[in-house]
Structure 1
Amino acid sequence: MKIRDIGVLSAVILIVAMLIIPLPPWMLSFLIIINISLALLVLLTAMNMQEALQFSIFPSLLLLLTLFRLGLNVSTTRAILSGGEAGNVVETFGTFVVGGNILVGLVVFVILIIIQFIVITKGSERVSEVAARFTLDAMPGKQMAIDADLNAGLISETDARQRREKVSNEADFYGAMDGATKFVKGDAIAGIIIVIINLLVGMIIGVVQMDLEFSEAVHLFSTLTVGDGLVSQIPALLISTATGIVVTRAASDGNLSTDITGQLLANPKLLYIAAGTIFLLGIVTPIELIYTVPLAGLLAFVAYRISHQKQEEIEELQEIEEEVATDNLKSPENVINLLNVDPIEFEFGYGLIPLVDAAQGGDLLDRVVMIRRQLALELGIVIPVVRIRDNIQLQPNEYRIKIKGNELAQGELLLDHYLAMSPGDDDSIEGIDTVEPSFGLPAKWITEQVKEEAEMLGYTVVDPPSVVSTHLTEIIRANASDLLGRQETKQLIDHLRESAPILVEELTPTPLSIGEIQKVLAKLLQENVSVRNLPIIFETLADYSKLTSDVDVLTEYVRQALARQITAQHAGSQPELKVLTVAAKVEKMIADSIQQTDHGNYLAMDPQDSQAILESIAREIERIAFFEQSPVILCSPAVRMYLRQLTERYFPQIPILSYNELESSIEIQSVGVVNVE
């Protein structure tokens, strides 16, 4: 244990000892001075903090100081009642401080009790209750604000984590302060009771046991009681004041002294008005000018100095800003910063500002938070922060989506309309013809007046925020593989290392590097296969990376290991899966066209044969689309990745599965065959 730890523990043990063991008067005097010093130190610390959390130990410290003060009260009471003395400090406060007048001392003590108990303690207790309640009520809003800033790119993940921790600590602190103020209130009540006991019981003991005259007993024990009350209530008053400062302190960039002087003297004109009022008070009333003129002059002089200083600061700030602006134009960093490319950008025209402005009811920032969470669960990767900004170069109602600086999609919204998509060939409702941006379906922008009619006719009616949210989700999902780089893969590996360190150590950095793992995960994401189940993926790579280093082959092994996941993805809860099978002739054509090289295998098929296969796939897809069925192509494991290479440019959304990627319990129903003449 460190010396400071031993010191704190020893102090707590001393407090307990004070309640049991009689202490000599000289030690009591020394401990009373320590009590006053600690109370003063706490008050000064409270005045110099910038926000409440900088003094987060205050609730616990308040309990210990209250216990220490009560321990002193018990010790001094024992000394007063047993020997008629409690040390030099108590005697000094009972005689010198109150001027030898016991009645004055009692009045001063009562006033201190009233100030502490009714004014400061009562107010601090009420403020603590309100602060605790409002802090807890404000937590959800603060969390949403943090998520919104994170999605807007204003803060990083680390900053967001720190701000969330601060919000949680604030709730804990004000909740603790709500209870800690009860200690101060109880301490004030205990002080009153102890004074009454010392006074009454002390006089009885003085007359009965010490054989003192009644007047002598009254004088002796009144002096000691008043002294004891003052030496305990003055630190208690300082602690109560510190409590009030802590619970009423709002976060700022300066301490209490800086804020008071900075805000109270912020407007020099008000100081001139105050100076004039004080000066007139000395003229129109019998108050002598010797009291009012110096104060009025001082206020006027301070107002003049502040006005002059502010003007100098404004001129100096303008000069600094001009110099900084000039230096930035010359600085090479000014150009380097322009090279940064955001992973995901959402730009919009000024007409779509209500989408992101919370004051106008916009909830796009909250929707982006939900999109990132949804895709993290679906795809198994952390979607980067979406940078949302307005662009005056766009049309007012236009928006566009960029991935790594490249524009991948754009659209147009009418905020005062709804997007209606027909379930069939019905075209009876009035509206502005358009195309649904996510899936390219024909649609119409309709007004709110015909919304109910459209819903009754079976139209799918969507509000503009949902339209853009769906579009953004589909674009991110379709380009997830581009968002997964080596740095993001390293984060996934580090996360897996926390739960499966041996598995990670066996796979990387040897036999597979982070780049090779990233390529495997990217190939899975390209075919919409979630990489959330990293343990199975790494187990498979660890098993087969000893046999081959070909990333394409390793990806096929991983897909087969994820058979249960892939089956559930395409079949859902259905006991059967309808597929397009590939004829043996076509599989043989593909197998014969595989070229093997030192750098891997690739498909080198005759253009006429590949064209014939693609046309056959297109015919079958068009045929089964008439029956509203989603096409899935099923082939043998040996040719699956080569068939995917052949079709990915023309049919990127069509899943290509192998027999080994389906669970044996699923029933396969062929609804067509891909064949060539």
Structure 2
Amino acid sequence: MSNSPAPLGNVVATAVLASVAMLIIPLPPPVLDVLLAFDIMFATAVLVVALSIQDPLELAAFPSLLLVTTLFRLSLDVSATRLILTQGDVPGGVGAVIPAFGAFVMRGDVVVGMLLFIILIVVQLVVVTNGAQRVAEVAARFTLDAMPGKQMAIDADLHTGLIDASQARARRRAVQAEADFYGAMDGAGKFVRGDAIAAIVIVMVNVVAGMAIGVIGKHLDLPTALQTYPLLSIGNALATTLPAFLLSTAMGIMVTRAASDASLGVDLIRQMFAHPAALRTVGVTMIVMACVPGLPHLVFGALGTVTLVTATTALRSQRRVERDRSAQEADRQRAHEHRPEYAIGFLGIDPLRIDVGERLLPMLEQPAAGVLLERIALVRRRVALDLGIVVPGVHVKDDLSLPPSTFAIRVRDRVVAHGDVHPDRALALGTPRALSQLAGESTVEPASGLSGVWLAPDQATQPHNGALTVDPIAVLTSLLDRVVRRNAAALLGRQEVQSLLDNLKQAQPAAVKGVVPEMASLGLVQRVLQHVVRERVSVRDIAAIVETIADEAENTRDVCIIGEAVRRRLAPAICAALAASDNVIRAAALSMTLESSMAAALVSGERGPVLGLAPADAAALAERLLAFERREGSHAVVVCSQSLRLALARFIEALGGTTAVLGFAEVVPGYTVNIAETISTEK
């Protein structure tokens, strides 16, 4: 029973009832002194608590407290008024507190006391109470507006398992308590405002009525009445207005206090001394003001000196804390580096990366870096449109182990291409005759293999007949474009495939529903797409590809079989990419003897059928194919029977060639094949 809150509740209820009773029952002067002193003590305690708490909800009973203290103070005013009017002329008739306040503050001058009272009331009513009331109104509105969002956030945390049910209930109660608190504070400001107005009325009543009663009723002479009743009235007003001012200040602190991990005093000191440079400026300003004629030099000089010393001490302390923090961070980093799992952070690789040598570092600085990033984005966008794949981001970094003017392009951390550029020069490309007339460093353009000349900076902007000039960033991004297209299969990871499927699911939900992963896993779809893009065939028609995979997956999981079926489904697009404007595909064909020997040499491999030719025959075939590719360039096409197509394509890929291999079954109506050459290994 001793732990029950009921006795405390009874004490509060008794105090409220006693306050009401004081409106009717006269109080003895000693009791009035005790209650006035208690009022000042309690208001001071509330102000100190308001300064000490970290969260306004720690004093959630403050709005009710304002009502109770306002009622108590008005009861004291009524009791004091009764004593002043009935026995104000009797020594000790109103106790000791009220006369002491009047004598100490007024110093025997009624006008001074009245002016001090008016100033105190104006500050309390106009400045503190009005501002606190407006802040409470805005805080209540914002808190109520934020309630739905906070409730949804709590529900989301509960559903995701970040908190349990008991924590969710506690958070909901806190949100509701915050809304109730600021809503109540919005109305509690009216109590403080009304208390200040009532104090003005009570002072006027005490002065006027006291003078009338003293002169007319008690036959006091006018000087005695002027010395008695205004003194007691203003003393009473000051004795009750002081705690009211303390409570209104506490109210202002409560409504302007944001939740923090420290009290208001700690926060103020911490935040003020967090900027020693500002304090140093203040100190210098005070010392300058000390030099102004007429101002108290000692006062301003002393304050300026103290401020400068404080700022210097704070700055040293701040630097010491930063050094300690840096040392602790270094210790933690060293301890972290000694942990076995620290090495895991170095195991990841970039899908696509460009390393640059020391002389190319200016290309990583603005404005060249902006141009480089824009060109890289253009390459990614162009490849995405041509091949239909999502090209991963390109990481550009310095590598001082490279030759100074060299850049290297890595795919999955493997160097697949490199070249040399000069960031301050332009590259001229053209015929040997045109280049022979140019002064500069001869080179070979890494993407196209064309001859070129690096022009001096003063020649870069001059016209050159018969030669095309390109900037070094264009040289780098041209090679990047070639690398991305040739390594599209290696860059097409599961994450990129999932992005393609997610995009298809949004546009055509039925095309994906029931297919991935029910009929075909994400890995199978990835390998089929890699099979197709390995030969630079666009997979933009992802819906048709998924449908074909679904049809073929019912009978087989062989990637080569499914991939060739996808190629046949995409045959119109393949023919369109290989044909000229007249829908004619210029190609080379295999001789009947060569095709028969190749068919007989087909063997099964891990990546599908391969050509098991004798070394001499394989070398002869490679020579013929590469010679044809050199003559035709990037438009070289070879047609063959469908059974040989994949094996021949893999053979050319192993040679590093780019010749497209087209099966006769992939030539759709509307397109014709013009056999420009027959390839044979016979001498």
Same fold (TM over 0.5): yes
Change in 2 beyond 3 A, CA 1:359/1:318: same
> Does 2:281 match 1:276?
no
**Whole-Å separation in 2 of the counterparts to 1:418 and 1:621:** 30
> Does 2:445 match 1:445?
no
Q: Which amino acid aligns with 1:440?
A: G
Equivalent residue number for residue 440 of structure 2: 431
Equivalent residue number for residue 132 of structure 1: none
Q: Could you tell me whether the CA contact under 8 Å between 2:624 and 2:681 is conserved in 1?
A: yes
Equivalent residue number for residue 561 of structure 2: 553
Q: Could you tell me whether the CA contact under 8 Å between 2:352 and 2:409 is conserved in 1?
A: yes
**Whole-Å separation in 2 of the counterparts to 1:269 and 1:89:** 40
Moved more, 645-654 or 293-302: 293-302
Scaled by the length of structure 1, the TM-score of the pair is 0.58
Q: Which amino acid aligns with 2:352?
A: I
Change in 2 beyond 3 A, CA 1:673/1:466: same
Give the number of equivalent residue pairs: 448
Q: 2:654 aligns with which of 649, 652, 656?
A: 649
Scaled by the length of structure 2, the TM-score of the pair is 0.58
Q: Could you tell me whether the CA contact under 8 Å between 2:273 and 2:314 is conserved in 1?
A: no
**Whole-Å separation in 1 of the counterparts to 2:605 and 2:355:** 45
**Whole-Å separation in 2 of the counterparts to 1:574 and 1:99:** 106
Equivalent residue number for residue 635 of structure 1: 640
**Whole-Å separation in 2 of the counterparts to 1:520 and 1:425:** 48
> Does 2:290 match 1:285?
no
State the structure with more CA Rg: 2
Deviation at 1:434, TM superposition (A): 0.7
**Whole-Å separation in 2 of the counterparts to 1:645 and 1:461:** 37
> Does 2:137 match 1:38?
yes
> Does 2:354 match 1:346?
yes
Equivalent residue number for residue 658 of structure 1: 663
Moved more, 659-668 or 526-535: 659-668
Unmatched segments (≥5 aa) in structure 1: 1-30, 46-86, 102-237, 243-255
Matches within 5 A, 1:577-588: 577-588=585-596
Matches within 5 A, 1:158-169: none
Q: Which amino acid aligns with 2:651?
A: L
Deviation at 1:671, TM superposition (A): 0.8
- CA deviation vs aligned residue, 1:478-499 (integer Å, no higher than 9, x gap): 1111112233323333332333
Equivalent residue number for residue 417 of structure 1: 425
Matches within 5 A, 1:16-415: 37-39=136-138, 261=272, 265-280=276-291, 284-287=293-296, 292=300, 295-296=303-304, 299-300=307-308, 302-359=310-367, 363-415=371-423
Change in 2 beyond 3 A, CA 1:301/1:337: same
Equivalent residue number for residue 517 of structure 1: 525
Identical-pair percentage? 25
**Whole-Å separation in 1 of the counterparts to 2:601 and 2:341:** 53
Deviation at 1:524, TM superposition (A): 1.4
**Whole-Å separation in 1 of the counterparts to 2:592 and 2:673:** 17
Matches within 5 A, 1:454-473: 455-456=464-465, 458-473=466-481
**What secondary structure does 1:389 align onto?**
strand
Change in 2 beyond 3 A, CA 1:311/1:594: closer
- CA deviation vs aligned residue, 1:210-242 (integer Å, no higher than 9, x gap): xxxxxxxxxxxxxxxxxxxxxxxxxxxx9xxx9
**Whole-Å separation in 2 of the counterparts to 1:99 and 1:402:** 88
**Whole-Å separation in 2 of the counterparts to 1:93 and 1:409:** 84
**Whole-Å separation in 2 of the counterparts to 1:599 and 1:286:** 95
**Whole-Å separation in 2 of the counterparts to 1:494 and 1:656:** 31
**Whole-Å separation in 1 of the counterparts to 2:679 and 2:359:** 49
- CA deviation vs aligned residue, 1:365-422 (integer Å, no higher than 9, x gap): 2222222222222222222221111122223322211111112222211223211122
**What secondary structure does 2:657 align onto?**
coil
**Whole-Å separation in 2 of the counterparts to 1:602 and 1:322:** 57
Q: Which amino acid aligns with 2:137?
A: L
- CA deviation vs aligned residue, 1:583-619 (integer Å, no higher than 9, x gap): 3333322222234699964443333443443344345
**Whole-Å separation in 1 of the counterparts to 2:471 and 2:369:** 13
**Whole-Å separation in 2 of the counterparts to 1:671 and 1:293:** 100
**Whole-Å separation in 2 of the counterparts to 1:505 and 1:443:** 53
Q: Which amino acid aligns with 1:648?
A: E
Deviation at 1:436, TM superposition (A): 0.5
Change in 2 beyond 3 A, CA 1:645/1:308: closer
Change in 2 beyond 3 A, CA 1:98/1:431: farther
Moved more, 612-621 or 322-331: 612-621
- CA deviation vs aligned residue, 1:611-662 (integer Å, no higher than 9, x gap): 443344345445x54xx78321112222211221332222520000112323
Q: Could you tell me whether the CA contact under 8 Å between 1:274 and 1:299 is conserved in 2?
A: no
Q: Which amino acid aligns with 1:405?
A: D
**Whole-Å separation in 1 of the counterparts to 2:607 and 2:352:** 33
Q: Could you tell me whether the CA contact under 8 Å between 2:353 and 2:411 is conserved in 1?
A: yes
Equivalent residue number for residue 667 of structure 1: 672
Unmatched segments (≥5 aa) in structure 2: 1-129, 145-189, 205-251, 257-266
Q: Which amino acid aligns with 1:416?
A: D
**Whole-Å separation in 1 of the counterparts to 2:330 and 2:194:** 66
> Does 2:496 match 1:488?
yes
Moved more, 522-531 or 606-615: 606-615
